[in-house]
Structure 1
Amino acid sequence: MEHQSTALEALGIAVAARVPVLLWGAPGTGKTSVIRALADAAGWPCETVIASIREPSDFAGLPIVADGSRVDFAPPRWAVRLAEAGHGVAFFDEVSTAPPAVQAALLRVVLERTVGDLELPEHVAVVAAANPPEQAADGWELTPPLANRFCHLDWPVDARTIAAGFAGGWPDPTPPDLNPGWERRIPVARSWIAGFLTVRGPLALDVPDNAAAAGRAWPSPRSWDMTARLLAAAGKASELARSLLVRGCVGAGPGVELLTWLAEADLPDPEVALAHPEGFILPERGDRAYAALSAVAAAVATDPTPDRWARGWRVFGRATAAAPDVAATAARTLARCRPAGAPVPDEVKAFAPLLRDAGLLT
């Protein structure tokens, strides 16, 4: 039960954070049921679309001639219903049995939530389910562009889980309770990832050579950005669910490397640093120092009041003596978010030539 409950926890966080998520599992293991149950528990309408029996026009829109002078792409009814509801789950089932032409039509739907000429509301989550190609009816590997748009989660099933469900009933999923204002932590999580990629540059983009691996999770700027969003949303999550989400976006190897780096880096909380700039201690290693300072700048950028902007520069002023090059690189982000009319603190003088060259200081 523990492994399946953790996968369900990760699934709920991805849905709540509106990161497209793909649930992989053998046929007949309850993937479709649990996704529908999660939507019901959250009070969201769920539109189920069987990808394997659909045509590309069911996702790209049906071209129709309007007014004799233009061509519109009419959306299908399932998309119209979600748009009218204003929220919900667009659930694409049997994705691994969809031919490449249908997968191509799904690209814009998954990434932009746009169906034909209809843009789905922000609060519509995209969820998919698939069987491994070797277990699917006429299965296809996912194309790399489509695979890279999802967070991939495996749906584990064991004898104890099945026995408990038959004996006592299947538990109802509970929608996750995300921290209020969690989206303000996204820029901070991006800063952490930026620090990690300064030492693991090859992982910024690493497309697998074989089709099977390219049809699952692998690192790209897009999937790293999804990782940042999920790290920000998973503030209350268990450590294992957090690991599943990270590995589900960028793959097992890169995901474990990032989580290990974060654990060893022991980065300071940027809000604590802003509250007490005089107590800020810059990490010694360059990659960790860059991540820590970038996180402070990103935290200021999410709420750029004059006081927070000044406190941010006090943090950077303390860092200048220890790592002037690192501080100068991260200072550009802080300079860009200057509040209107905010006075320039004395700490900016150390970065003045660099900021003037970048057009951020007159």
Structure 2
Amino acid sequence: MAERDWLEIERYTVAIGEPLKRLMDVLYEAGQVPFLWGAPGIGKTSIVREWASERGLNLIPVHLPTMEPFDLRGVPVPDHQRRVTVWLPPETFAPQGKPTVHFLDELNMAELPTLRAIFPLILEGRLGDVSVDGWRVAAGNPPSASTLANELPAPLVNRFCHLLCRADISHWLRWARRSGIHDSVVTYLERNPDHLYAEPQRLDPTQHQVLTTPRSWHMVSDILYAAERRQIPLNAVAPLIVGWLGRFIGVHFLAALQVGTPMIDPWRALYEPDAPLPADPHLLYGLVKAVAQLVDPMNAEEMQRLEAFAKRLTDEFRIFLAQECSARGVHLPMLDESLDKWRRRRRP
């Protein structure tokens, strides 16, 4: 795929965090149903739960792959007075007494009869003759990330606004600090932002692939806290950490904890104009990469800070910063201009 094509795709992905919450607010106001697509473990469920909680909405998870059509419709009961049969809805879809959001998780892993049964639920808010109060949000893993995923029928696809979601280090770190994620995890990912999400890796040829995701780091944080409470040394829980992160990133993380490589805080580099930059080009490379991953393009102050930071760099590292920002869909006129000039010089 050409670089320009990839950048166009990146521009229309949505970061798990405040950007996704803002779009969900718009769809909620418009009464439209989103389908959140994204790799396993990047935080789709967590962000929907957080969004609903912040807005005082009652979130009800609905795991469609474990349900049959009659689980959705409910139970027929006789109405003797009218001499008809009426449907008693399941508790999941019964009136809740407060604004409700039904979260249809892993929707594309459900069987076709179940998918057909939810057609009227998505746009019309009903199951058969039963009206269902509230809003709906659907989520699923793309077929490339799940061998159990089913192709959705075209009429069902057309009932959703499809959002391609991605893990984003800046928003995840903000969430991690609010949520009490272990300092060792936060510090490591500030210095190694590419390790928040990594492609599957095998622990050994006989085992399943391990996917390093935001969920994995949350689990590692819980392990570190549990080990501290029980006064268990780090090397004793190393197999658990590698079991969540995979061999490459797991060993790298353990080494960083034991060695503690000194490096300037990327937030300090961004917000303190006088903060010293590392003389070692390897450390400066890591710092520039971390800053590019952390900055929020929707935050005007951070974009101004990014421009000031870029002016402190040599041409070589400024180009590298521009490449990293462009890959995330972060655009600053000064950096875009530098990148365009560099590309023109490279043309034959």
Whether these two folds match at TM > 0.5 is: no
Please tell me the TM-score bracket, short chain as reference. 0.3 to 0.5
- The two structures have a TM-score, normalised by structure 1, of 0.42
Q: What TM-score comes out, normalization by structure 2 length?
A: 0.44
